[in-house]
Chains A and B, each alone.
Chain A
């Protein structure tokens, strides 16, 4: 019974963070694009990225906190191993995407506000790590 309550509480916290981060990303992308010219599709994509990242990472943090309270080997769990792999892969993806983006911008002569570019890079990294984590977890469960 106690476990069920804990899980419900954790789901509530993860859900709240997920919604909060989703709204933050959505509003942030809307403001960064400029109020009059913002693409709603992009706002929705950013909001979804924030929500997914919020859910995955909050769930993982809460799980590790629960493990830390119950035992001593909180960093030995396989979930931490998966997270490290996901972050490593996401970092490599970020470097590749940034390099390709820099080349495309240089040779294509395109321009974009630095805030939009940075926000996109951060959002991409979070989403990439989240998706990678989910796929690793599913593949090895």
Chain B
């Protein structure tokens, strides 16, 4: 699943480590999501969307 996490994070000037701490997950989790290697569960997806103040659809794109 494609996502715009890296773009959102960079727009806010955050490092992967800082975002991981803010979300309460490991830095590897942020790295994996940004690389589209890991699709987070609903809980984390909502936490990410809430953190950036956007809707889930604006972060995650299921694509075709």
Q: Which residues of A contact B (CB under 8 A)?
A: 63, 67, 70-74, 76-79, 81, 140-141
Return B44 CB to nearest CB of chain A, in Å. Answer: 4
Q: With an 8 A cutoff between CB atoms, is B28 at the interface?
A: yes
Task: Tell whether A77 pairs with B28 under 8 Å between CB atoms, given A71-B23, A140-B37, A140-B38.
Answer: yes
B29 touches A76 (CB 8 A): yes
B25 touches A76 (CB 8 A): yes
Q: Which residues of B contact A (CB under 8 A)?
A: 21, 23-26, 28-29, 31-33, 37-38, 40-41, 43-44, 47
What is the chain A residue whose CB lies nearest that of B41? A76
A79 touches B37 (CB 8 A): no
Instruction: State the CA gap A67–B31 with chains docked (Å).
Output: 16
Return A93 CB to nearest CB of chain B, in Å. Answer: 23
Instruction: State the CA gap A140–B41 with chains docked (Å).
Output: 17
A70 touches B24 (CB 8 A): yes
Main secondary structure of the interface of A (DSSP, over half): helix
Instruction: State the CA gap A78–B33 with chains docked (Å).
Output: 9
* Beyond A73-B47, A77-B28, 19 extra complex contacts between A and B, CB < 8 Å: A67-B24, A71-B21, A71-B24, A71-B25, A72-B24, A73-B23, A73-B24, A73-B25, A73-B43, A76-B43, A76-B44, A76-B47, A78-B32, A78-B37, A79-B29, A81-B38, A140-B32, A140-B37, A140-B38
